Structure formats: C-alpha cells, structure tokens
Structure 1
C-alpha cells in the first residue's frame, strides 16, 4: 500500500532508553527526543497525533512496546528491517551517523517508499516464540555443561563434587527442555491443528518440525508465495560473479531463520529418500555433478515449497500431485 502524499510521516530511531523522532512541521524538519516508555509515547502522540504514519526499524525488542502503543491508539505503523534502512542510506550516499540523522533517513524512507503497515502478531505466536527462545537458551546451556563434563573427565585429578553438580544441572536442563518442547508443541497443535496435520503428511517432516514451520511462518497467514519462506529462512542462492574473471561459488544467503534452516537440513536427509519430489530433485542434481550439501539445500527449498502449497491448498501430500510435488 503506497503512503499518502498528504499524510504526515514520522521517522523514529529507537534505542533501549530513548526515541529520536523526526517530522515535518510547516515544511521544516523538526526533531524531538523522548523516553522509550509510556510517558514518552504519550508525548509523541500529543506532538504528532494519531493521523500520522509512524516509521521505525525493527530494533531487537525495543520497538515493540512503542509499535503496540501506537497501534492501540489507532495510528498507522510501519516497521522496517534495519538492513533495508542501511542500504537506503548508502544508496543516497548518506554520511555521518547520529540518532537524529537516522530518524531523518527513516522519515525520508517512509515518504518515498511503498510500505506495508505493521500488525501485531497473534498472541499464540508471540507466546510460542518466547518458549522457543527459552528452549534455545537452555539447549546452549546444556551444550556448555556437556563440554564442561567432558573436559572434567579428561582431568588427571577430578572433583567428584564438581562432576556431581554438573550432572545434576544437566539433568535439570534436560527435564526443562523436554517440558518446554512438549508445551510448545501442545500450544501449536491447539492453535494450528489442521495445518500441523497437513504439514505432517509431507514425507520427511514430523509433527515437531511442522510446528516449528508454523511458528516460523507465523501460521502462513501473511505468506503469499513460497519464495518469501525461502528468503526468510536464508536459503535463497546468492551468486558471486563479475565479468569474466570472478566466478565465486553460489552460496545461500544465511540471513534469517537459522533454527528452521538447521531443522530443515536435518529433515532433508530423510526427505531425499522418502519424498518422491525431493528424491528426484536430489538424484538429478547429484547426477549433474553438484555436491551433496548443495543438493540437500535444494531439498530444503523443495520442502518449503511443498509446505506452502499444501497449507494454502488444504490438500495433504500426494506424490502424484504435480502442483505440489513438482
């Protein structure tokens, strides 16, 4: 949706404790700085009103309270990937960096670019993503404990108390991870029962991966084509060539969902054997001389393509269905 020419655009550079705000008043650039809290939000609305278009970067978690507040007040909100703003500034040969300058660039981007309005995610998606993040943190702690135990076992002198403490911590972490994973899957199955059933029909994808895919794709609600999923997972190929002298390898972007990317890569080993379309694709690429990893990444992309088609069509996997398995 294109930004209205007459609509006032507010650029906001968000940091942990403050908001740097840039807007036009009587055709003159104005700057305002407020705290990143409810008091600052009210000051912002009082100054700029609810009829304005508020544009900000997706800066960690620090933009969320502001975005929710503005949305609740009835204002239109745009949240932009920081990489896009960075590229926009570079494209316009912007020099120097400060919060005020960044806010001004963000405002200009909102005025000159076709933008999509931000909407809050469903509560179940937000809660499940928080569970997923805690599980990731606990898994990292578990890995650290395992490494510490292995290092301790190699010591010529070993404290039994230290070993006992590490083993107890490991058991506690494993129990917590299991409980949270079960709760996460249970929440997703209650919210997306039909979608999980559909995704689980794909050979190579189990219920746990199906749940992770739904969380990753936010229930497939706002996904309009499978290429968006591939790009979001960081599985899009990126070519590195220039003229006749530079011929780099084609690699994936690795931007975005590292967790779902690693999960899909594990699923690809099973899919290349049990999933008809994935098996044909893998064998064709290997026959052409592609190495195994490149072929497996192609299988990951195929799985995402199948997942998108199956959820959108509400038709379970059928190996003879060309529109899905092709």
Structure 2
C-alpha cells in the first residue's frame, strides 16, 4: 500500500493541501468546513495516510472534528518548531507553505508526537482560559488609562472619561468571574479532572489559575507526561551556552517558552515562599548560601512543576514533610 503524506496549510476559510505519494505531489484547495473535509478524506479512507498541519489555534477545529473518524496518523506541529525546522526559506504562499509542511513531516516524523483527540471538557477549558486571558489583558490596559486621564483635568475630561472607563472595567470583571465559574463547573462535572485539580491545589502557592493552566496545557496530563518536558515547555530550565574555549556563559533559560504559563508559575512560586513550607525553606537556604534570588525562584518554579507531576503520577496530595533537595 502506498504511503500518502498530506501537508495542510490552514486559514480561516480554506485549507491548502499538498498530497505527496512516493515523490509525486499534487495541490488541492478546499473549504475549511467539516463537510468539505469529509468529502476530501473519504477518497483516502482506505489508504495509509499521514496528516501534518501547523497549530493555528481555532482554525484547526474543523479538522479536529473530522479527523477522529479516520485511521490517519496525525501530527499538529507548533509554529515555532515548523519555522525553525524548515531552515533558510524565501517567499511565502499558502501553496508553498503546504508543501513545506509536507516536506517537514517527511524528514522529522520520528521526532514528532502523534496527535490524539482531546476530550470535550479539556477543549472547553482551553477556550474559556483563552477568553479569560484576553479579558485580563483588556482590563490591564483600561487600568493603565486611569492615570492618563488625570492629565486631562485642565480640559475638563477627567471625570467623564474615568467614569466611562470604570464602567468598562466593572463589566469586564463580571465577565472574567463568569468565565472562571464556568471553568470550575467543568472541573466539578468531570471526576478525573476534579481529582487532578484537588491534587494540584494541595501544593503550596498553587491556586486556581495555575491549576487550570496546568490541566489545560497538558490536556489532563495526557500530552505532556514528564515534568522535565513541562519545565522545558514553560521556559524554566537553564541551558548551557558554550562554544570552544572563548565562549562560555552562565546557564540561562531559553526564550522559546510558553510565556503565559511561565508567568503563572512565577506567581505561584512567589506565593509559595511567603508561607511556612519546604519551598520557603529551600528558597531561604539557597539565598543564604549566596545564590541569586531570581535563579533560586526559578528553581522553586521547577520544583513546583516536578511536585505537581509526582502527585498526579502517584495519585496523592501534597504532604509538607516531603523532602526537597
């Protein structure tokens, strides 16, 4: 049976598909709709097919809905991985991008992790967290404008603008609270996620937002199953920077990271070291030894991640007598 490789470039309305069969390629453009996707895939249903696509967020949803009905091997590639893996390229179009995705998976399939369908509850959590984060940003921007309005006192616009701004902030805050309530409702309705949330929240410093984010990013600890990989994904693992005898820098964290979960873990670490627990003891001991405070705080973030994964693996809650080296 011939092996067919599909590279799919996704946009909001269309899918550009590069179909490669033993070196020969063909290009197709179809609507980014479930019905159109089924019509195309049904022709390949009995073939050995590998599907590769870039992770474009919500534009992937139509494919996610259609693909589970077929026995295809599917890979969803992070945009950064795809960009760095293509090497030196020039020019860009949807047709060319589909061909590049096809060539990428041909070369790197062994290194990529196959995609698996996500549960509906995890999908809902991801969407609600994205909506919440968007409103948090808007609220932060509106709060920043409050001080600027004071500069308009001389032209008499200070009070009406502040009043309008405050009304928007209150409305957005109400929406944030509704979104958070919906996330909690999803967690309470799913026994598996509910138990994971109970275990995660038992860790000192870890609150609801860190808990929700960890579950969503790992898809219920099914896609990322190792703490070292999660720590690397969060950008809290220091890497060496050395070449020959002339270049040797202190280990530092990589800029290639999920900044949102990194900042969430930072807040969790800051909270943890304020209270009497093993994380605080570790922090104070290392600082007393002369270690850089930010480096130690990063180590605390790392330990929080490892502790969460240990609890999930052992189906246990945090015990403060656990020894942190």
TM-score band by shorter chain is 0.7 to 0.9
The whole-number CA distance in structure 1 between the counterparts of 2:235 and 2:241 is: 16
Shift of residue 57, structure 1, vs aligned partner: 1.5
Equivalent residue number for residue 106 of structure 1: 101
Shift of residue 95, structure 1, vs aligned partner: 5.5
Matches within 5 A, 1:133-172: 133-157=130-154, 158-159=156-157, 160-172=159-171
Shift of residue 97, structure 1, vs aligned partner: 4.2
Aligned with 1:18 (options 14, 20, 26): 14
The whole-number CA distance in structure 2 between the counterparts of 1:171 and 1:139 is: 12
The whole-number CA distance in structure 2 between the counterparts of 1:46 and 1:218 is: 29
1:124 is aligned to 2:125: no
How high is the TM-score relative to the length of structure 1?
0.85
Larger mean Cα displacement after TM superposition, 186-195 or 164-173: 186-195
Aligned with 2:58 (options 40, 56, 61): 61
Give the direction of change, closer, same or farther, for the CA distance of 1:277–1:20 in structure 2 (3 Å limit): same
1:145-167 Cα offsets, whole Å, 9 max, x none, are 22222211232333333232222
Shift of residue 226, structure 1, vs aligned partner: 0.6
The whole-number CA distance in structure 2 between the counterparts of 1:155 and 1:163 is: 10
Give the direction of change, closer, same or farther, for the CA distance of 1:215–1:31 in structure 2 (3 Å limit): closer
Shift of residue 313, structure 1, vs aligned partner: 0.2
Equivalent residue number for residue 24 of structure 2: 28
Three-state SS of the structure 2 residue aligned to 1:219 is: coil
Give the direction of change, closer, same or farther, for the CA distance of 1:11–1:209 in structure 2 (3 Å limit): closer
Shift of residue 301, structure 1, vs aligned partner: 0.6
Shift of residue 310, structure 1, vs aligned partner: 0.6
Shift of residue 230, structure 1, vs aligned partner: 0.8
Equivalent residue number for residue 188 of structure 1: 187
Shift of residue 60, structure 1, vs aligned partner: 3.3
CA contact (8 A) 1:78 1:117 kept: yes
The whole-number CA distance in structure 1 between the counterparts of 2:248 and 2:23 is: 50
Give the direction of change, closer, same or farther, for the CA distance of 1:302–1:188 in structure 2 (3 Å limit): same
Give the direction of change, closer, same or farther, for the CA distance of 1:239–1:131 in structure 2 (3 Å limit): same
Give the direction of change, closer, same or farther, for the CA distance of 1:208–1:185 in structure 2 (3 Å limit): farther
Three-state SS of the structure 1 residue aligned to 2:170 is: helix
Size of the alignment, in residue pairs? 318
CA contact (8 A) 1:233 1:254 kept: no
The whole-number CA distance in structure 2 between the counterparts of 1:66 and 1:32 is: 15
Identify unmatched segments of 5+ residues in structure 1. Answer: none
Equivalent residue number for residue 246 of structure 2: 245
Shift of residue 251, structure 1, vs aligned partner: 2.6
Three-state SS of the structure 2 residue aligned to 1:145 is: helix
1:231 is aligned to 2:232: yes
Three-state SS of the structure 2 residue aligned to 1:78 is: strand
Three-state SS of the structure 2 residue aligned to 1:79 is: strand
Identify unmatched segments of 5+ residues in structure 2. Answer: none
